[in-house]
Structure 1
Amino acid sequence: MATGTAHGNQGPGHDRAAVTLDRSNLPDLLISDRDKLQTQLEDLEVIVVRNAFCPQRALLSFAERLECALHGQFGAVQQPSAEDYLIVGDPNASPLAEFVRNGRVWENDQVLGRAPGGTSIMAIPDEDRIAAQTDFACTAAAWDALPHFEQRALAPLTVLHGFWHDRLYHEREPRHDALMQWMARESAELPLVARMAGGRHCLLVDDTAIQIMGMEFSASEAFIDGLREWVTKPAFVYRHTWEPGDLVIWNSASVLFRGLPRPHNPMWKMAHVSR
């Protein structure tokens, strides 16, 4: 299988590379079994197929067979309604741009079981998302770069994760009934450090992380924030700039991801929420 290394589209300061496959390898990729793909992804973490133009039916079948989390836009572009207002994503044009950028949080599909097969996929089939960017933070690489004494200190820790904590990043003042629905969904105590099948380790520190068990809350908040800052350093982040038909596949356990606003392009955000 012909592979190459994708540099140059991560943006300034983003040094992590992703392995790229030629589009001719797409049929073999789509019939891969779960174990084979997971073995590849444990070492590579992120695989890119440029201009794959993968048929939707084949992609859906692949995701269902391997129990992948599938991200991407397959329907029509959602148009803003009368309740929306325009926010400019260019920090030179609007003071709200930094607010919008900070609203893009790090997610992980593995934490609450959104990807039972351990694999996530994102495909952008249309032209609307071109020039959009997605960051992929490789936490296994971040773990490998830690000194051994820090690895030993982190290994026994467990973290409480909750769906509602994730949602509060997106909507800071939800209706009470919505908050109750979110809090009724699954929560879990998980190891901070997860061991993957092939022996590598990764860190589960996405935005669902609420508290390090046994640690005072404010100290835990600072600890998780510092650890997330470490795993999302540019050296561990691959930044993908989307082109028509691109397909990105990553290890759900070891990779955090976040979409970025498009610079110099407008974006829409709800002006108010009926309470």
Structure 2
Amino acid sequence: MIHTIIRHRPTRLYILLGTFFVANAIIAEVVGVKIFSLERTLGISPLNISILGNYFSFNLTAGVLLWPVVFIMTDIINEYYGMKGVRFLSFLAAGLIAYTFIMFQGAIFLTPADFWVHNYVKNHVPNADYAYRVMLGQGSWIIVGSLGAFLLGQILDVASFHRIKKITGEKAIWLRSTGSTLISQLVDSFVVLFIAFYIGPRVSSNQGEPWSLKLVLSICVGNYIYKSIIAIVMTPVIYWVHNWIERYLGHEMAAKMKQGAMGEEI
């Protein structure tokens, strides 16, 4: 039975796309606790443009490296498996993100071994357990924020994707994929940072210092600009993936799946 399922190309493709989708969502949550300077990473000076009373530079959460991929994968899955296919993977990813949150909380309260703390002292980390609590604790609030933002973003992505496709038909893949991603990323960028760095530290004492609202909004703007640029830059990748899927499934099978995904009779 399992051999038959794996040999069925549409099923195998769904497993491949779904696994990559879920893996990227979880990894984005884990690495998202780090805020990095895009300009300094590229070896240039920060922009330091005044926005909302703060000097704006591209200070981004590390999760932005992966979230554009997640939303593009959403559109590709949506194209061939429809809203039900995306909805199943979205709830699966959300459940695993919640599971990650629970495991983080459990790990935080474990009593550390003395030799483990001492080993990190040699690496100039005076209190490894405290650092562990702060980083994973802050990451937990990113997960809480991302969980809500992710589900809301997925709903907007799927809805806008289908609305655009009904208007344009099979043409303008770039418009429905990039357009729906830009809409969903707008919500995701603002909701997750607001919960993670504005609300979270005010609710829990081990989350580090809370950010000001102006700082949150400034970082949100930078994250959204970056995600938008990446979504546009990755447009050729979307076409490449579509072409690969068409060859893999065969044009007849791919056409039937796309019609079914749009709720049309086949």
Higher RCO (Cα < 8 Å, 6 or more apart):
1
- TM (norm. structure 1) is 0.27
Rg larger in structure: 2
Q: Which has the higher helix share?
A: 2
Q: Which has the higher strand share?
A: 1
